Amino acid sequence: MGLICKQYKTNTMKIIEITREIAIAFLLPKHYSGRKPQITKAFGYYENNILVAVCTFGKPASNNLCYSVCGLEYSKNVYELNRLCRVENINIQLSQFVAKCLKLVSSENWIVVSYSDTAMNHNGYIYQACNFIYTGATKERTDPFIDGNKF
């Protein structure tokens, strides 16, 4: 029995659901956090059959976040877009990639939240381009990073 997965493709570009293992193998050496996210679904962006970007979704670490977003009744539907990473020096439209990934999970009936790390000079432009609703800044993080470097 073959694996049937959701996908979006054009002549040179293909976005497909990938395994957690493929996502982790791509993310760990490239993403600044150096941590494995909780992954429920992961998508790969392939350009000419080469994986150049990954977008992952998982349950948020905090149940309180899920409750505060939409109450107890719908809290089980809250998922976080928890990683978005690409190969450096590859010119791809990450907002289009995220939009396609959101379309691929739309049948899941998820309420998707995400965060941009201002300590890494991320301002959420990709999310803004995808019409995410800005709800404010969170409390400053206490992870052991200074100017994007672990200490």
What are the beta bridge partners of residue 18? 42
* Superfamily for the 7-132 domain: Gcn5-related N-acetyltransferase (GNAT) (3.40.630.30)
Predicted pLDDT of residue 128: 64
Where are the chain's structural domains? 7-132
Residue identified by tokens 């976040």 is 65
Predicted pLDDT of residue 2: 38
Predicted pLDDT of residue 64: 87
CA distances 9 to 38, 56, 57, 99, 101, Å, are 26, 18, 20, 13, 12
pLDDT (tens digit per residue) in 130-140:
667 666 666 66
C-alpha torsion 50→21→131→148, nearest 10: -90
Q: Which residues of the chain have pLDDT under 70?
A: 1-11, 32, 116-125, 127-131, 133-151
CA distances 12 to 43, 47, 53, 145, Å, are 16, 6, 14, 37
The pTM score is 0.77
